Every structure is written in structure tokens, then in C-alpha cells.
Structure 1
Amino acid sequence: MASCKTDNCGCSSAALAPPAGIRVARYRIDNMDCPTEERLIRSRLEGFPGIATLDFDLLGRTLSIGHRLDSLAGVEAQLAALDMHAVRVDSRHTRLAIAGMDCPTEERLIRERLGSLPGVDSLEFDLLNRQLRIDHDPAALEAILAALAALDLPGRVLDEAAPANAAGDAAPRRPWWPLALSGVCATLAEVMHWVNGGNHWLVMLLALLAIGVGGLSTYRKGWIALRNRNLNINALMSIAVTGAMLIGQWPEAAMVMFLFALAEVIEARSLERARHAIRGLLALAPDTATVRQADGGWRSMPASAVQVGAQVRLRPGERIALDGVVSAGRSAVNQAPITGESLPVDKAPGDSLFAGSINGTGALEYRVSAEASHSTLARIIQAVESAQGRRAPTQRFVDRFAQVYTPAVFLVALLTALIPPLLLAGDWLEWVYRALVLLVIACPCALVISTPVTVVSGLAAAARMGILIKGGVYLEEGRRLATLALDKTGTLTHGRPVQTDFQALDGEAAQVQRVAASLAAHSDHPVSRAIARAAQEAGLQMLAVSGLEAIPGHGVRGTVDGQSCHLGNHRLIERLGLCSPAIEARLEALERQGKSVVLLAGPQGVRGLFAVADTLRDSSRAAVAELHALGVKTLMLSGDNRHTAEAIARDVGIDESCSELLPEEKLARIERLLADSPPGSVGMVGDGINDAPALARASIGFAMGAAGTDTAIETADVALMDDDLRKIPAFIRLSRATARVLRQNIALALAIKAVFLALTFSGDATLWMAVFADMGASLLVVANGLRLLRQAP
């Protein structure tokens, strides 16, 4: 162990709803289009007084600033000093529920249509909840709704204050009989074709019936897509089926349309699992609570109607409906749904309760501290929902790839249909048929859908563990962490000093402790409070103190039981001339253990020594050992003295400790680590407030104990809902698992496409085989992505 003294690019950013008192100003900055400008602006504005949040959208060249400022003139002056051409954009945020939008096909169609509308600034899609958040000019809303209706994807305006998860419209369930009838007709068409040895008017009739019953919606969507110059799967399938009929492949056209409709239904059911993964969080809190009325009676009320300050009664075994503070009773509460803690937590008057947690065997009464829509659980759900908008690097790559892949394969299909017959004397029907097969596999549905399902599954699994990840980018990039800097107080330690040692040197031990505690009880210093608390826990009564006087930088003096006494540090004892080699040896031994020593002195000399230390969390040693096993180097950044920092680091197993650091020095240390390390490899763990500059600068910032804390949930990249550091190795393992699944899905989707491209040119692929390959690949990658849900304990 050594001792010293002393970027992520997001194409879209999903901001949380601003907390109370925070206003949002939005700027368009035309010369901000890469991470270099983002870092420049962030470094200038992050420390600006009154600024709470910075939300960058590099693709849209916009910056949203959450602030508490009366005037933004100072902010605009800072941007101008950086030569950033910032123009204030007054836009409106509207959330729409779109029942028919549940896969990337509809997202691309909507994005292309609305992206060209004047007055539309940004689009933020939530496919799992079928919602779209739009930043736009107020006058543009009518045109937006009309454009969606023209796409046969009508939108319903949602209340922005409503929980994101609860507001989405469910897609209407398709009746089963048209699909069944289509399958029967397609099968009969195949049988009749085989019996007659070719086409027959009955074969064509059955095929038309199968296509009409099972594929009308596909044709309607395909026509809308073509009208909007979009080659989605519906457009490609419509062209392929129509082409098959034109070249006389009636039974195969019918079977292809039926198989496609069947695969769409199966895929929709599979995606519902990912939707329920997050919606299941919402079901943790009950809909009703038992509330005290003005006449003193109790009545069950909807949780959404309960006001802050109301008294709620909680029976044994009940699930808690709202955040609150215990006012009466004692019980053990299972907080695992919120914090991921494996054991129940004892609750007594004054302790916090979280909505969604489960009461144990005792009855409780509590005062509501937050409305249902602003509970810790609601903020967790909102954060996970918003995280879907921050696309992971792999997802951005896949989206860019898909934009090139489909037109390229469509062009190859067109050339396949024309070049062999025209230039190589090939058979027209054979090569047109091969071109139609290529069309079916031209849509990268499996590739595109695999990434959001995988990322959302990972986010939901993390939320169940009590790890709140603020975007897919952090979930995926967590695997790169190679160095983790940890704050000491409140992170590795409890942040509350306790008395660890007591040595009576003159007189009865209990009396020495009573005298010291009586003096310490009159001080607000954390060390003094620890001494007084230890005496109270031992059942010792305080003594009367007279003539109490503080000695700045040294301690206190006063008269106890008629004797003048001093309680203070090493310097005070030296000043009194009471130090001796024996006492010096005792002090050095305790201080080398990282403990602060206080001495009680009477008229005859030193009567007792009290050592106080900030104790380690139970999870710290295990967490550091797990990090080392994962290949992550650990570094402690502390403002404490060198002896204490070294002792804690040695006890925990930290690789390197840096002591006596101011907040700006912690930031400088993180910046040096970033300069000497690969991109995305430096993390920082702190309390989310005191270490804010270093947390913000690190590749990934982790906030400890975020449950119930607005600031930590809203500002951290990753928030640990309780104080268990072992969640960080769990996050890294989940990140690595997510990256593996993403790579598997991409490889699987591309391999299947490549195989069928080869089979098509060799003449061995058929239309129905292509449908199986395309939709089968989609189902496989969805199922593979959902495996991450099993990562939750």
C-alpha cells in the first residue's frame, strides 16, 4: 500500500423531472457537436452557483440547465466566453401514449416523420411503455398529433406529472381467430397445390383468403411506411408477398404471411416480459393506506389521495404504501425491494420508511413524508424509465448500422432480380424469387430490438438489487472500470465516530468515565458526542458541571464534584505540563491505529484516555476483496489525517491511500487518473454531495445510501440505495454480463443474416425459411436479453 499527500458521449439524454425549486432553461448551441465541447462547457458551468443539473444532447446540439437562478445572464456570459453560440429555446415538453408503438420499426417510422416537422426539437422514445416525450414549440403539437394519426399510430397526450410507468396505453389484443383462420387457409392452399400438382383457382382463393385475413394490418402498415419512404419490415414483407403472388407462388405467399403474423404475436408476448420487469416495481406499493381522520378514527384511502403529514397505521405483514417517518411502535421492516438489503431493518420512532417495503411482526404508525408520486419508489421507477433514453454505445452503433444495412440489402435484392436475367441469361422467375427472399431478411429487426431489451433487462435487474443506474451507457461502460476511488467517511466507514478504547489511569474506571462524559455532553464536537454516547449506553448518570469553558483547538475545562477537570487533545495535556513518556507511548500506539485520542486531566495528572474512531462498515472489506478479484485497483481519497487514512486503508485492503485532501484536490486526483487511464476506466464512490466535483468528473460516479435522498438519485450516474459497498462489484459483474449478452445478440443476428444471404444466392433458401430466420432470430435475441433478469438476487 502506498501513501501520498496531497467521457461519456450521449446521443440523447433523458432528464428526470426537475425537483421542487429547480427551473429548466434550454439552449441550442450550433457549434456544440462533440464530447470536446461538452467537456469544455461542463468544466465551466458545473461549479457555477445556482446550477443544479446539466443535460447535454449532442445530436440535437442542445443543453438543458436545471437552475435556481433569478437571471441567466451570468450563465450566458460564461457560454459566450467559451465562444459557444447559445440561443435560448422556449419549448414545451409533451408526453404521448402511443398504443401501436412497441418495436423499433414504429420508432424509426415516427422518428423520420416527426424529425422533419418544424418546431420539433427532440424525441425521446420509451418503447417498453409505448410512450414518446417530445420537446417542441407549443404551436407544433397539433401538427405532431396529425402526423402520428397519418402513420396510423395515434397519440394521446399524458399528464406530465403522472408516473411514467403507469400512464402508457397497452396495445390492443388482437383476436386469435383471424390468425387461426389464416393458418388453416395457408395450410389448405399448400395441400391443394400438392394434390393438384400446381396452382388451381381454389389454391389461389385459399391463399388470398389467408393473406387477407392474416396480413391486412401488415399491408396497411407497409403502405404507410412506403408512403413515408421507410423500408421497414412491414413494407419489405408486403413487397415480398405481393411479388410471390405475381410470380405464381401462391401457397408460399400465404404461408409466409401467416408465419410472419404468428411470429409478430410471439414477439409481442416476449417483449411483454421486459415491460413487466419494470412495471413489477410499480406494483410493490399498495394502492390504499389506512389513514387517521380528523375525528380520530381510521379509514382506508387511496394512496394517491394521502397528503404529506397524514398519520398512517401499518399492521404486521402489510406492505408500506407511502414514504414516511415512524411516529409510534417498533418493528423489523424488509427493505429489500428498495435497497436490496438481505436482512430486515429494525425501525423505531424517528426512523424512515420507504413505500414498497414490507412491515414485519410489529404494528407501526408513521407520518407521511412524500406524496405517492414523489416517493423513493416512484423516483426509482422514474429514473429507470428515463435511463432507457440514454442509449448505450452498442445501441447507438446498432442504430447507425441498421440505417445503412436495410437500404444496402434492398439494393442487392433489386440487382439480384435484374442482373442475372438481363446479363447472364438467368431465369426471371428464379432470380426474382431469390430477390424476394433477400427482401424478407433485409430488415435488421433482430439486431435492433436486441439492444433495448437487453439494456432494460439489465436496468430492471439492477433496480431489484438496490442499484439505480441512470442510463444504458453506464450499465454497459461499467465493465471498463479498472480503478475505483473511494471516499473514506460515510463510504468505507459509517461516518459516525464511536468510542473504541477507554483506559482509566487514576481512580475508579466508572467514575473517570462519568466525569469525562459529563464534560463531553456539553460539546457538539463529534468526538465529544461519541464519549458521551458511550457512557449513556453503559448506563452511567451524568454529573453536574459548573464553570464550563471551551479552550479553542484544545478541548474544555470545568468543575465536576468540586474538582477542576480538563478534557481535550494531546496539545492540551502538553500545555498543562502533564504529559509523560508513558502517556506519549500510549497516545502514539492509539494514533497509529487511526484513532483520535482525548484525555481527562485532574489536578493531580491524567486520569483517563478515550480513543474515538469512525468504524468500518461491515461490507467494506468484502467489497474491496471482490473488486480486487475483478481486477479493479482501489484508491482511497480522504480529507482525514495521514495516520487515520493509512490505518483504515490497511485494515480494508485498499491499494493506495491519499490523505488530507480538500474537495478540489480530490477532483485534481481524479483528473490525473483519467489522464493516465483508458477512457471510461475510472470510477468514484462518495456520498453524492460533498464529493460532487470528483463524482461528476469520474467516468462513473457512485452515490452511497441514496434511498430517500433526492440529490443522490438525481445527480449520480449510479446510486446505491443502501450503504452496502458490495453492490459495486455486483454492478460491475452485471455490466460485464450485459456486454456479453449484447455481443452474443449482435453475433447471432448477423450470423443468421449472413447464412441466409449465402443460402439465397445458392438457391437453397425459401421465403418461409427466411421468415423463420428473421423472426426466429428476433425471438432468440429477446429471450437471451431477458436472461439478465435472473441476475437479481
Structure 2
Amino acid sequence: MTTTCCASNEEDRLRTKDIQSSCCSKSTSEIAGTSIQNESSLPKEEDTCCSTIPKIEAKNSDTDTCCSSVNVSSDLIQPDQTTHTYRIEGMDCPSCAVTLEKGLVTIAEYQKVSVNYGAARLKIESKSELDDRRLQNEVKKLGFQLIVPNKEEKHVQTYAVSGMDCSSCAKTIEQHFQKINDVQTVTVSFARGEMEIEHHLDAQQVKNELSKIGFDGHVKGEESSKPSKRSFEGISLVLSGILIGLGLLLQTVEVLYLPNALFGIALILSGWKAFRSAFYAVRARSLDMNVLMSVAAIGAALIGEWLEGATVVFLFAIGNLLQNHSLARTRHSIQKLIELSPKEAFVLTEEGVIRKSVEAVRIGEKIRIRPGDQVALDGMILKGTTTINQAPITGESIPVDKSEGDQVFAGTLNMDRSFDMIVEKTYQETTLAHIIELVEEAQDNKAPSEAFIDRFAKIYTPFVFLGALLLMIVPPLLQLGSWGEWFYKGLELIVIACPCALVISTPVAIVTAIGNAARNGVLIKGGVFLEKAGKIDAIAFDKTGTLTKGTPIVQQFMLLSDDREHTLRIAHSLERHSSHPLAKAITEHTVQEGVYPLESDSVINRVGNGVSGEFEHILYHIGGVKWFREMGYELGMLDSTVENAEKQGQTVVLLGSDANLLGLFILSDEVRDESVDAIRKLKEKIKIKKLVMLTGDNAGAAARIGKKLSLDEVHANLLPQEKVRIVEDMRRQSFQTAMVGDGINDAPAFVTADVSIAMGGAGTDTALETADIVLMADNLNKLPYTLDLSKATLTIIKQNVIFSILIKLIALMLVFPGWLTLWMAVLSDTGAAVLVTLNALRLLKKRTL
């Protein structure tokens, strides 16, 4: 049996958390089996013994208390209290905040009132909903104005942020904004140079908060109203360089104090940005490169090495400037996609043509696209014919002819004539908007190698920093050298502790590759899929619509009568009344032959068999072999032709009159023009070990296609689950397997494969959603390019990582013999960061094989 008593001041007892010094052997939270996260929310009652503590039902029935009234449930340990936040206008000084706070604290239902003069913010804690109108009146009586937040004003915005030098800067920004009450969530992408924030603040407040911690920002899509700091930074660096040069000259003539004064000014001019960023990084508990460089520079100055200190921040600033310029090129690839979307559209109304912003155009409205204009939104052509350059979406350089009923996409270029179209998707739903959104998300998705390096850096930096501190203290204590000597070596180690080149080596390559792919009509949904694609050594293809065109064409026409033109005219006349793919293929074939249909009012579409019709008082039929046999036609010598065609997976269509047969069409789905070339490249250049075709079609058709493409394996008559089994078998054989299809019918196999690749994603939401990689064009030649780009990315990542680690090791080995100087240590880091960035930029030049 345990007995507890309660201190007279429960809040103080909980805050000290010193159980032994308390008169209570167990805290109230222990009795309840809970932990109190916010002790301040407990009632304060100094004159009573726990009389006002929420009643808790003790879980231990053997526990007695000296307070008989303590009999409470743990879910009531914290009162149901809400914090309300408002903005205040009219405060001129901190004493105004005190006045307002004292005036409002007298109101009974306000449990706690606090006013922050700097943030112009009022916070009120209350158990009930507040009457905002009453509160406004109370604040007005005290001489101030209350700004009531509109609950609907909470919104998510994306800001373009400049001034980030590494991923640690992104962490500093996130941690700063997370402390602001009006901010719900914040995510910063160093790769894209953007911040996504859900908040109640206005744009100027967000900009001010960014400025406080050393960064500039503006709402994405808007021009920055603030002049760029780049010119000022450039002037500062030039002046710093001149001052360092003058200082070196004055040292040669032994002028006292003046050289160090010049070095000190140069240190401030070129290091002010790093010092400011370091201050906010320390506040955010982030040991980033600005902190390390600032410690090194200031430490050098403290031991009298003014030249070393100035050189450190000077080289560091130059390295950052070059690195940021290079990173801007990688981010520009996405910006170019965004710029493709026009800002306005010409909408057709009853009053005539009016100009509207694309955001204001609704589904179902009609718009006009003039020659040379970019298509404003996704939709269908209603009137007119033209030629469209779809390269921004599909990556295909050859323009496509478009006519009534054809789909067009936002961001593509109208090259020929004006046309009218009906809008089918809003601005936010267009294919281009979807691509931009997915690419931006992809650039934020970390690849396995990137995630590993981030984890490594988190251990490496503090470990080396601690080692540097020990190096400054232990050897001098052991009398192994002077304090100044080992302090200098420690500063060198602090600079080497900065993992900037290593951390940036992977993301810059991935961002560059994903951006390049997007510009060439390939959507890669993240670094993980980019890395996996680079390791692929086996590919399974769907047949129809992937390796083949997906629509049948006439391979051969056999004339069985005397009049070829008449026979083809009859075929055209009958089949134009059917929507069957075979009928369309025959109609297209007759058009290519230059024949025109006859008119007839007695055409009958016999579903499942064919079409019958009467022309010039003669009845004709066109359809399958089985139907003609049922009607009593004798095929005779044609039986062997039909049998051979069916063995090869081809389809035979017969045409005849009531009296006899007139002609025979042999049709089949044809291999795409680019499939042969793509398969050859995959084998010869990409070195894919195994190429397999999976199809539900018959064995004859599959074998014919497989032979034409020289595939390693062909599997026919497959159900979806059987395709999954074959992909699983390939993976069990230690193949890194990709599944290539249209993204609609092959979902189970897509999920099973290591990487799923969908073709023809332009305008197909299913393909965009289901696949890991989407080839926007219906062109298999994009596949070798994609795998080649992925392999090149893996190679560059390996080069960057090895180079970054090697530079660090060399620098470390040079520290102890005393051969390394601080400026050399800076070059080993910032110089390496610039070089790995430039190496990654080589991926921008990667083009289709």
C-alpha cells in the first residue's frame, strides 16, 4: 500500500520534477498512468491541498491519497482549453502591449492573456468560444484595433526562396517558421529553392520572416518586388578581394596594424551573409556549413591570423556564388515548363471574343487559338484544322496534324491555322499542370543514395566537429605543442567537417536528370525510380499498343473477281457503316487506293458477323470466315490461305455477293515503326539482358511479332494474373525488371515489377497516376533514352560521392603534418561543391539515343 500527499503548490512541484524532494512519493501524472505535457494548463491553487486538481480515477486500487477528493479519469488531466490568436494594430511601444494585457486580463472568461509587441500578436486562452465582436470593442476601448482572422483565409502557398546554400539552410527555414503560431505546416525544398507553407499570415509577413533569417522570397509565379542581392554580394566580394590584395602588399613593406585592419574589413564584407545565416542556424540548433565556416573565420581572427580568416570567408562566398549559379540552371528546367502555360485565353462569347485569364476559364467554354499561339487549356477542337507542336508535352519534335474532334494540350504550340476548341479541363487540371506538379514532387522524393548520405552527414559533421574541439584541447594539455598550433589545426578540422560537397553530390544530379527528362517528354516520379531504372537488366513488354500500333491494318488484299475498283468500292460502302476496328482498317485501305463509296439505304450491321447491303439490286456481305461458311459459301482453294493467316495470328475478312466471293482481306496489328530500333538500342547500347513480350493475344500473332523484333521470350494467351507470375519469375532469377505497358490494362504487373513504365501518358490520367515513369509520347524510342539517362545519373552520383570523400580524406591527411592551410581547407569543401554541381550539369546535355 502506497500513501501519497500533495504539496501545497502543485504547479511548482510538477515543474521541478524532483520526486525525492517532494512530499509526494509519486506525481499525479504517475498515479493517473499519464504524462503531463503542459503543466501550466493545470489549475493554480496555492492555498488548498489538491482541491482543484482534476479528479482522476487512480489505476492502482492499492494507492491511497491524503486528498479524498482526488478521484479522476486520466482523460481529464488537461482542461479543454483553446488558444485564440489575433493581430493588433496601433501599438507604438512595448508598454502598449502591457497596457492591453492588463486591460484584458480582468475579463473572467479569459484564462490567460499575452500580448507580443514585436509580432503585434494577441493570444487568449479560453475554455469557450470567444465573442470576437465583444473582444474588438474591449480592445478599441483600450485604444487599439483588433484584426480578427478569417478562418477561410488559411491557405497553402508556395514561395520561391533565394539564398539557400545547402540542405541545412532549408532545415533552418523550416525550424524558424515552425515556431510561428500562425503557421500550420511548412516544407522547404532545397533542390527546387521553394517553400510550401500553410498559414494565416499575409505575403509581406512571410517575406519579413524570411528576411529575418537571411533569405529572400516571393510568392511563386509573381515577380520579386525586392531588388536582387546578387549585385551587392558581387560588389562586396570585389571589394574584399581588393582589400585582401592591398593587405598583402602592405605586409611586404611591414606597415603595422593596417594590413590586419584591411583583412578585418574584408572578413566582414565577404562574411556578413555567412555570419548572419550561422546565427539563425545556431538558434535553430542546426550545425550547417555557415556555422562551421564562421567558427573557422572568427577563430582565425582571434589567434591573430586575420589573413587566413578573411581568405576563408572570401573563398567560401565565391564558392557559394558559383554553386548557386549552377544550381539555378538545374532549377530553371522546371521554370521553363511553368513558362509554357499561357496566362490568358481568347474566350468566345455571345458578345464576341473576350480576353480572360486562364484561371478564370471554365470547363465547357469555347476559346480561339490563333496561329503562333500556345494552346491555353486542354480540350477538343470544334472547328478548324491545324498543325500542333507537342514537343513541350511529349518531347516529340515532329509536329502533329490536328482536325475536328482531336485533343489538344495546354502549353503546345499552334503552328498553322486558327481553330476553335472547347475546354475540357481547368487550368489546375491540365496535363501540363499535372506534369509540373508531379515533377516538383519527384524532385523532393529522396533517392536511397541521397537518404543514406543525409544520414551519414548527420553523424559525420558532429563527430568531426567534436574531434576538432578535442584536437584544440587535448594535445596542448599533454604538452605535444602550443595552444595556437593545435587551435589552428582544430579550425582546419572544423572546415573539413562541413559535408556540403558530399550532401549536394546526389540531389543536384537527380534534380538535373528529372528536369532534363521532363523537357524531353519523360516523367520520372522520383529519385528512387531514377536510380532503379539505371539498374534495370530485364524488360517485360505488353504487346498491343506498346510494341504494336494497337490498331489493325490491311496486310494483303486478294481480288477474287474481275473488277478490282468495283470490289473495293463495295467494301468501302459496307464498312463505313461499322465502327469495328477491322472495318475502319478496311475503309482506310480503300481510301488509300483512291476509291469512293456507293450510296445505299439498305445496309444492315449484323453484330458479331459483319455487314450486309444492297447496291444496284445486288446483295453483298462482308465479314468473318465463320459467318460466310454458315451462309453456305465454299472457300475451296482459299482454305489453306485462311489457315496459314490464322496460324500467324492474322484476321481474314471476306467480301462476297449472293452469287460468289469477290475478295479477301488479311489484317493484323502491325509493329510500330520505332519498335525495331528501340529494341536494338536496348540490346546493343543499354545492354539489357532479357527482353520479354507478354500478351493475351493468340500464340500465332505473338510469335510473329516476337520474331520480327528478335525478342528473347514470347508469352501468349495470358490472363492478368499470369503476367504477374512471369514478372515474379524474372525477379526471382535476380533480374531487375521493368514492366512497359499503357498504364491501364497492366496494373497488377506494374505493381509487381521493380519499375513500371507507361507509354502515351499525354492526356491519360491513369498512366500518369499508376506508373513510376511515364513516356508522354506514344513512342518507344523514349525508353532507351530514359534508361541511358538513369545509368548516366548513377555514374555521375558515384563520381561525385567518391570525389567528395576523397577530397575530405586528402585534407584530413594534410592536417597533422601541418601542410594544410585554412584557405586550402575551404577550397577542399566549397571548391568540391562547385565541381560536383558542374559535373551533374552534364546531365542537361543528355539527349535521345
Are residues 1:696 and 2:759 paired? no
Alignment CA distance shift 1:695-1:755 (3 Å): same
Q: 1:196 aligns with which of 245, 248, 254?
A: 254
Alignment match, 2:435: 380
Alignment CA distance shift 1:516-1:207 (3 Å): closer
- Secondary structure (helix, strand or coil) at the match of 1:245 reads helix
More off after superposition, 207-216 vs 286-295: 286-295
Contact kept? 1:183, 1:258, Cα under 8 Å: yes
Are residues 1:152 and 2:213 paired? yes
For 1:262-273, list aligned pairs within 5 A: 262-273=318-329
Q: CA deviation at 1:166?
A: 6.6
Q: 1:344 aligns with which of 399, 404, 413?
A: 399
- Secondary structure (helix, strand or coil) at the match of 1:640 reads coil
TM-score, normalising length: structure 2: 0.74
Alignment CA distance shift 1:350-1:507 (3 Å): same
Are residues 1:185 and 2:243 paired? yes
Distance 1:406 1:113 in 2: 22
For 1:510-521, list aligned pairs within 5 A: 510-521=565-576
- Secondary structure (helix, strand or coil) at the match of 1:285 reads coil
Alignment match, 1:216: 272
Amino acid corresponding to residue 130 of structure 1 in structure 2? G
Contact kept? 1:338, 1:377, Cα under 8 Å: yes
Q: 1:586 aligns with which of 641, 649, 653?
A: 641
- Secondary structure (helix, strand or coil) at the match of 2:195 reads strand
Contact kept? 1:325, 1:351, Cα under 8 Å: yes
Alignment CA distance shift 1:147-1:177 (3 Å): closer
Q: 1:659 aligns with which of 704, 716, 724?
A: 716
Alignment match, 1:360: 415
Alignment match, 1:107: 170
Are residues 1:504 and 2:559 paired? yes
More off after superposition, 111-120 vs 750-759: 111-120
Contact kept? 2:210, 2:217, Cα under 8 Å: no
Amino acid corresponding to residue 672 of structure 1 in structure 2? D
Alignment CA distance shift 1:292-1:442 (3 Å): same
Distance 1:500 1:146 in 2: 66
Distance 2:727 2:364 in 1: 43
Deviations 1:713-764 (A, max 9, x none): 2332111111110000000110011111111111111111111111111201
TM-score, normalising length: structure 1: 0.79
Alignment match, 1:127: 190
For 1:317-716, list aligned pairs within 5 A: 317-536=372-591, 538-544=594-600, 546=602, 548=604, 550=606, 552=608, 554-555=609-610, 561-629=616-684, 630-632=686-688, 633-678=690-735, 681-716=736-771
Amino acid corresponding to residue 132 of structure 1 in structure 2? M
Amino acid corresponding to residue 708 of structure 1 in structure 2? G
Distance 2:549 2:224 in 1: 42
Are residues 1:242 and 2:298 paired? yes
Distance 2:675 2:421 in 1: 32
Q: 2:822 aligns with which of 738, 751, 767?
A: 767
Contact kept? 2:172, 2:280, Cα under 8 Å: no
Alignment match, 1:259: 315
Q: CA deviation at 1:555?
A: 4.1
Q: CA deviation at 1:120?
A: 10
Q: CA deviation at 1:583?
A: 1.1
Distance 1:581 1:168 in 2: 81
Distance 1:525 1:788 in 2: 46
Q: CA deviation at 1:551?
A: 6.6
More off after superposition, 681-690 vs 346-355: 346-355
Q: CA deviation at 1:148?
A: 7.0
Deviations 1:21-62 (A, max 9, x none): xxxxxxxxxxxxxxxxxxxxxxxxxxxxxxxxxxxxxxxxxx
Contact kept? 1:110, 1:148, Cα under 8 Å: no
Distance 1:250 1:317 in 2: 61
Q: 1:277 aligns with which of 333, 343, 346?
A: 333
More off after superposition, 219-228 vs 392-401: 219-228
Deviations 1:422-461 (A, max 9, x none): 2252122111111111111211111111222111111111
- Secondary structure (helix, strand or coil) at the match of 1:132 reads strand
Distance 2:295 2:455 in 1: 24
Contact kept? 2:552, 2:585, Cα under 8 Å: yes
Distance 1:147 1:413 in 2: 36
Distance 2:742 2:457 in 1: 41
Q: CA deviation at 1:293?
A: 4.4
Whichever of the two has the greater Rg, that structure is 2
Q: CA deviation at 1:601?
A: 3.9
Distance 1:754 1:129 in 2: 30
Alignment CA distance shift 1:285-1:134 (3 Å): closer
Q: Over aligned residues, Cα RMSD in angstroms?
A: 3.3
Alignment match, 1:748: 803
Distance 2:605 2:508 in 1: 66
Distance 1:760 1:583 in 2: 89
Deviations 1:215-263 (A, max 9, x none): 2332222233234432211111121122212211122212222222232
Q: CA deviation at 1:574?
A: 3.5
Deviations 1:349-373 (A, max 9, x none): 2222223323324343333333333
Contact kept? 1:478, 1:735, Cα under 8 Å: yes
- Secondary structure (helix, strand or coil) at the match of 1:388 reads helix
State the identity %.
Answer: 39
Distance 1:389 1:431 in 2: 41
- Secondary structure (helix, strand or coil) at the match of 1:468 reads strand
Can you give the 5+ residue segments of structure 2 that lack an aligned partner in the other structure?
Answer: 1-153
The count of residues paired between Structure 1 and Structure 2 equals 688
More off after superposition, 744-753 vs 529-538: 529-538
Q: CA deviation at 1:301?
A: 4.5
Distance 1:155 1:94 in 2: 19
Alignment match, 1:58: none
Bigger relative CO (Cα 8 Å, ≥ 6 apart)? 1
Amino acid corresponding to residue 665 of structure 1 in structure 2? E
Amino acid corresponding to residue 278 of structure 1 in structure 2? I
Q: 2:286 aligns with which of 219, 226, 230?
A: 230
Distance 1:609 1:418 in 2: 96
Contact kept? 2:572, 2:597, Cα under 8 Å: no
- Secondary structure (helix, strand or coil) at the match of 1:365 reads strand
Are residues 1:790 and 2:848 paired? no
Contact kept? 2:163, 2:216, Cα under 8 Å: no
Can you give the 5+ residue segments of structure 1 that lack an aligned partner in the other structure?
Answer: 1-91, 159-163
Q: CA deviation at 1:673?
A: 2.2
Distance 1:733 1:180 in 2: 42
Distance 2:381 2:528 in 1: 38
Contact kept? 2:217, 2:224, Cα under 8 Å: no
- Secondary structure (helix, strand or coil) at the match of 2:374 reads coil
